[in-house]
């Protein structure tokens, strides 16, 4: 088992250091589990606003429903996106049985699966970086423990169909997008998506957006800002966005995905990296929020996260 995890670590390190992105196959999470939560989120989005309002995101815990426009990465466009952030697994904080019958029943096991998968990847990465796997794992011990010690979040996302240009009132002369450019804030993000497409990334060193193709059943691993800061950019954060597809047919369809944002515990001090690393590559040309110094980010992951939330949530 240990040698398998080591090998995964080597492959993950190679992919994340070259691209900030890795593709996982044979991860053991059945597609049906994802389809079930996609359907539950559709049902939640179809509820009357008054009913949804009980579940609006709580800024303290980051848990809850985020309506389109409430979180913006790109202030120049309207971001058409519904999210349901899950940071605690208590059924009382999820849509009730009478509203979306199996929401909690589907979401909780999926959150456990993604937590377990994250734990394997954390150990694998630790081997590759030369830090003690148990210590690195211990820095993430509060993931999905529902006790407020760790900000890791499973987010269900639904991007509704985009209104066709000719049906948009002139006064509403606003450009739409699905998700503006950003890098995620934590250690890494696991991303499972349906086959609709639209995800684009800037691979390390390039200023060009590249579409990420859809590999059925695969889960993407995207490195986050905290991992980049901790490794002094040996593993650069992946800048990504979700664009509106070009064709009228695909624009008229919704897109679903599940993102699992893996973060360290709020009070964790990450183990020091051994100085075996080669010289860190130059930072990517697009460095969002460059005013936050590396030093500051490293010392205070919790403040870093709160700052990002202030920047993006209305």
Ligand X SMILES: O=C(O)CCC(=O)C(=O)O
Nearer to ligand X, 242 or 305 (CB): 242
CB of 200 to ligand X, least distance (A): 9
Residue 94: which of Fe ion, ligand X, none does it interact with, CB under 5 to 8 A by kind? none
Binding mask 154-183 for ligand X (x = CB under 6 A): -x-x---------------------x----
User: Contacts with ligand X in 250-279 (CB under 6 A)?
Assistant: 257, 259
Residue 258: which of ligand X, Fe ion, none does it interact with, CB under 5 to 8 A by kind? none
Q: Does position 86 bind ligand X by CB under 6 A? A: no
Q: Does position 21 bind ligand X by CB under 6 A? A: no
CB of 132 to ligand X, least distance (A): 30
Question: Closest residue (Cβ) to Fe ion?
Answer: 184
Place of tokens 């047919």: 249
Residue 155: which of ligand X, Fe ion, none does it interact with, CB under 5 to 8 A by kind? ligand X
SS3 262: strand
Select from 25-33, 130-138, 191-199, 279-287 the region that touches ligand X (CB under 6 A): 191-199
CB of 246 to Fe ion, least distance (A): 22
CB of 53 to ligand X, least distance (A): 22
CB of 181 to Fe ion, least distance (A): 9
- Count Cβ atoms within 10 A of the Cβ of residue 48 and give its class: 0-12 exposed, 13-18 middle, 19 or more buried: exposed
What is the SS3 string spanning 34-81? HHHHHHHHHHHHCCCHHHHHHHECECCCCEEEECCCCECCCCCCEECC
Q: Does position 225 bind Fe ion by CB under 5 A? A: no
Please count the residues of this chain forming the interface with ligand X, following the rule CB under 6 A. 11
Q: Does position 184 bind Fe ion by CB under 5 A? A: yes
Residue 220: which of Fe ion, ligand X, none does it interact with, CB under 5 to 8 A by kind? none
Task: Please say whether the beta carbons of 128 and 235 come within 8 A.
Answer: no
H-assigned helices in the chain:
2-19, 31-45, 49-52, 103-129, 133-138, 225-230, 248-251, 294-299, 301-312
Residue 223: which of Fe ion, ligand X, none does it interact with, CB under 5 to 8 A by kind? none
- In sequence order, the 6+-apart residues with CB closer than 8 A to the CB of 275 are none
SS3 85: strand
Token pair for 108: 């909780």
Interface with ligand X (CB under 6 A), residue from 100, 110, 154, 199: 199
- In sequence order, the 6+-apart residues with CB closer than 8 A to the CB of 274 are 129, 130, 131
Q: Count the neighbouring beta carbons within 10 Å of the beta carbon of residue 288.
A: 16
Distances (CA, A) of 252 to 5, 46, 87, 157, 218: 42, 17, 31, 17, 25
Q: Does position 40 bind Fe ion by CB under 5 A? A: no
SS3 277: coil
Nearer to ligand X, 128 or 219 (CB): 219
Report the sign of the C-alpha dihedral through residues 239, 197, 313, 174, in that order.
positive
| Residue ranges that bind ligand X, judged by CB under 6 A | 155, 157, 179, 184, 191, 193, 199, 240, 242, 257, 259
| Residue ranges that bind Fe ion, judged by CB under 5 A | 184
């Amino acid at each position: 088992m240990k040698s398998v995890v080591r090998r995964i670590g080597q492959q993950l390190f190679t992919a994340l250091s070259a691209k900030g992105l890795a593709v996982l196959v044979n991860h053991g999470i059945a597609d049906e589990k994802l389809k079930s939560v996609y359907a539950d989120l559709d049902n939640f989005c179809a509820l009357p606003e008054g009913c949804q309002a009980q579940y609006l995101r709580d800024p303290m815990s980051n848990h809850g429903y985020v309506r389109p426009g409430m979180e913006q990465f790109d202030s120049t466009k309207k971001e058409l996106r519904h999210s349901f952030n899950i940071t605690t697994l208590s059924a009382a904080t999820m849509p009730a049985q009478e509203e979306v019958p199996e929401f909690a029943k589907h979401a909780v096991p999926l959150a456990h699966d993604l937590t377990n998968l994250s734990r394997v990847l954390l150990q694998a990465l630790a081997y590759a970086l030369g830090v003690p796997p148990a210590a690195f794992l211990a820095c993430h011990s509060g993931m999905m423990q529902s006790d407020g010690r760790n900000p890791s979040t499973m987010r269900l996302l639904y991007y509704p169909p985009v209104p066709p240009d000719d049906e948009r009132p002139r006064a509403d002369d606003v450009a739409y997008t699905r998700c503006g450019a950003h890098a995620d804030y934590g250690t890494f993000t696991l991303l499972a998506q349906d086959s609709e497409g639209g995800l684009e990334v800037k691979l390390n060193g390039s200023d060009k957006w590249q579409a990420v193709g859809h590999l059925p059943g695969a889960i993407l691993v995207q490195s986050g800002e905290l991992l980049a800061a901790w490794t002094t950019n040996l593993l650069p954060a992946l800048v990504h966005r979700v664009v509106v597809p070009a064709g009228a047919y695909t624009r008229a369809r919704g897109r679903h995905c599940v993102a699992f944002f893996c973060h360290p515990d709020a009070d964790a001090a990450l183990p020091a990296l051994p100085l075996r690393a080669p010289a860190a590559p130059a930072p990517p040309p697009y460095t969002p929020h460059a005013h936050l110094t590396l030093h500051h980010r490293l010392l205070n992951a919790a403040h870093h996260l709160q700052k990002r939330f202030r920047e993006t949530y209305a």
